[in-house]
Amino acid sequence: MTPEQPSDPSPAPDDRWFSDHVLPHEPMLRAWLRSQFPHGVELDDLVQEAFARVLRARAAQSAMRSPKAFFFATARNLALDTLRHRQVSGEDSLVSFESLDVLDGSDGIPETVDRHEKLERLTIAIQSLPARCREVMTLRKVYGVSQKEIAARLGISACTVSAQLTIGVRKCTESFARDRREVGLR
């Protein structure tokens, strides 16, 4: 008797890709962010969001030439967006935005359209999540609430928030992969 093979392909290669090509760079990214943005950003939230964006990009295009560079550039852009938001909203920042030696790459029209399409797919994927996971993902990804604030609002631990975000990102990534398979993309 032979063991039966599951009919659906396993998401293990994507998990393995993330573990091999992105996750090992997290400590270096955190150190770099601390050196460039010592008081201007919430590192845990920023790194979590960078992970999510790398996974979404990977789901949209299976071949990524330099995951490390994409991960670092994404985190840098998120940090700059945070600083810009604080500057525009009048929040005091201990870091002078002009003193940072980083490039600002604004998106063009094709990138903006692509981002809106991905956001629509992400919304559909989030709607399909279990209630608690959907609530955590919506607060974090749609409303930009920090992980600490989500924990306080929902009366759950920060570890639970992190676990729910991880589950949500994984399930959304799987949803994107299914969407790509349905339209015949690899």
Per residue in 26-48, pLDDT tens? 888 888 888 887 776 788 889 99
The CA-CA-CA angle for residues 170, 154, 130, to 5°, reads: 35
The pTM assigned to this predicted structure is 0.43
Domains of the chain: 11-105 (no CATH), 107-186 (1.10.10.10)
pLDDT tens per residue across span 87-139:
776 555 444 444 444 444 556 667 766 677 777 777 788 888 899 998 998 88
| pLDDT, averaged across the chain | 77
Quick check: 1 pLDDT over 50? no
Find, among 94, 83, 79, 108, the residue nearest to 39 by Cα.
94
Output the CA torsion sign for 5, 7, 12, 13. positive
Mean pLDDT across 45-67: 84
Mean pLDDT across 163-185: 81
* Cβ pair 82, 40 in contact under 8 A: yes
Quick check: 59 pLDDT over 60? yes
